[in-house]
């Protein structure tokens, strides 16, 4: 058992907050024993109180399950949205590709030539249509 | 993280969180609420839990913040009187009937201390944390903690001596 002098010295340090955990344990044990010196008795309830306070337990059961599922679902939806965005992003550039990127200069020129020939012949065709107008005039005369 | 794994991490300090909450909020019911709230928050963030070097200190800080918020909103809504009327259930816990009265008295003294001193006293004298651990939990420097602790202990001593001189009725 620690001597009274030792306890007094420790108490002095204790109130200046200079004691180590081990020294505080000595005080704690001393004041929770049955051999407290009469002139130190006033401190006993302090250390007894600390000891008893430390024995209290939390008794409520804590439901852990709910939080988990919500958490997973949240990340699944985030992943789905991300996948969608990536899909749209990947598809977009192919639509905006210019002709120059997909065909060589030669191919383009031959296509242009083909279109020019086509439109020239088409115009010839429409010129030929003007004879038909004359024909229409005469048939109308006949029908009246 | 698996549920069992989480419980293994959290169980050793769960009661400490509860006692800290009770020291601040006084009521057992509210302290249980606070503990539950903090643990559920930890659980929903359990994937990032590995990142926190010291989960216990982190949880203690969360508890502190939660309780101080509760106290603040209580003060704002004028519930302070109701709050101090809660019956202390510490007394029923302990078996030494002859010291009942002085422990009850101690509890009253504790509740008159400013919150910061109460927290420091709780973490050091009840839970026996080292100063640097307390510093982390309360976001204070160790010197400030020693000052607060010394002040708290001396206030308790003064009150006890006063009580002692009156004689225990």
Take residue A100 and report the two structure tokens written for it. 């120059």
- A23 part of contact set with chain B, CB < 8 Å: no
Domain boundaries, chain A: 4-53, 102-141
Contact A62 B15 (CB under 8 A): no
Phi, psi angles (nearest 5°) of residue B27: -75, 135
Higher pLDDT, B5 or B69: B69
CA separation for the pair B38, B129 (Å, rounded): 20
| A12-56: pLDDT as tens digits | 999 999 999 999 999 999 999 988 998 998 899 899 999 999 999
CA separation for the pair A139, B59 (Å, rounded): 103
Contact B161, A41 (CB under 8 A): no
Q: Which residues contact B119 (CB under 8 A, 6 or more apart)?
A: B20, B23, B24, B64, B138
Q: What is the ipTM of this complex?
A: 0.81
Contact B103 A45 (CB under 8 A): yes
CA separation for the pair A125, A120 (Å, rounded): 9
| A93-127: pLDDT as tens digits | 655 566 777 788 888 899 999 999 999 998 888 88
Find, among B128, B102, B99, B112, the residue nearest to B23 by Cα: B112
Position B51 confidence tier, pLDDT thresholds 50, 70, 90: confident
CA separation for the pair B104, B87 (Å, rounded): 11
Which residue segments constitute the domains of chain B, with CATH numbers given?
1-86 (1.10.1740.10), 92-169 (1.10.10.10)
| B91-127: pLDDT as tens digits | 445 444 555 677 888 989 999 999 999 999 999 999 9
Picking from A41, A60, A68, the nearest residue to B32 by CB comes out as: A60
Take residue B135 and report the two structure tokens written for it. 């510093």
Contact B32 A59 (CB under 8 A): yes
- A48 part of contact set with chain B, CB < 8 Å: yes
Contact A52 B130 (CB under 8 A): no
- A55 part of contact set with chain B, CB < 8 Å: yes
């Amino acid at each position: 058992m620690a001597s009274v002098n030792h306890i007094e010295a420790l108490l002095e340090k204790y109130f200046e907050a200079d004691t180590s955990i081990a020294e505080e344990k000595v005080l704690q044990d001393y004041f929770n024993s049955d051999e407290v010196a009469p002139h130190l008795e006033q401190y006993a309830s302090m250390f007894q109180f600390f000891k008893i306070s430390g024995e209290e337990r939390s008794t409520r059961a804590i439901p852990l399950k709910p939080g988990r599922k919500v958490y997973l679902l949240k990340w699944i939806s985030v992943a789905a949205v991300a996948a969608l965005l990536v899909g749209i992003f990947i598809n977009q550039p192919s639509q905006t590709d210019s002709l120059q990127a997909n065909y060589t200069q030669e191919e383009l020129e031959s296509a242009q030539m083909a279109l020019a020939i086509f439109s020239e012949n088409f115009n010839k065709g429409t010129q030929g249509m003007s004879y038909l107008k004359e024909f229409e005039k005469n048939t109308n005369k006949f029908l009246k | 993280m698996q549920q069992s794994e989480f419980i293994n991490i959290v169980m050793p300090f769960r009661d400490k969180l509860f006692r800290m909450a009770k020291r601040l909020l006084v009521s057992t019911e509210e302290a249980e609420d606070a503990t539950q709230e903090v643990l559920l928050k930890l659980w929903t963030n359990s994937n990032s839990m590995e990142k926190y070097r010291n989960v216990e200190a982190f949880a203690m800080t969360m508890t502190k913040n939660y309780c101080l918020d509760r106290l603040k909103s209580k003060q704002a809504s004028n519930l302070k009187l109701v709050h101090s009327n809660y019956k202390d259930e510490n007394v029923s816990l302990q078996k030494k009937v002859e010291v009942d009265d002085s422990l009850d008295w101690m509890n009253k003294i504790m509740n008159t201390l400013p919150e910061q001193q109460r927290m420091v006293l709780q973490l050091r004298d009840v839970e026996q944390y080292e100063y640097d651990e307390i510093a982390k939990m309360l976001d204070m420097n160790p010197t400030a903690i020693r000052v607060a602790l010394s002040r708290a202990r001396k206030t308790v001593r003064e009150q006890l001596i006063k009580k002692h001189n009156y004689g225990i009725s």
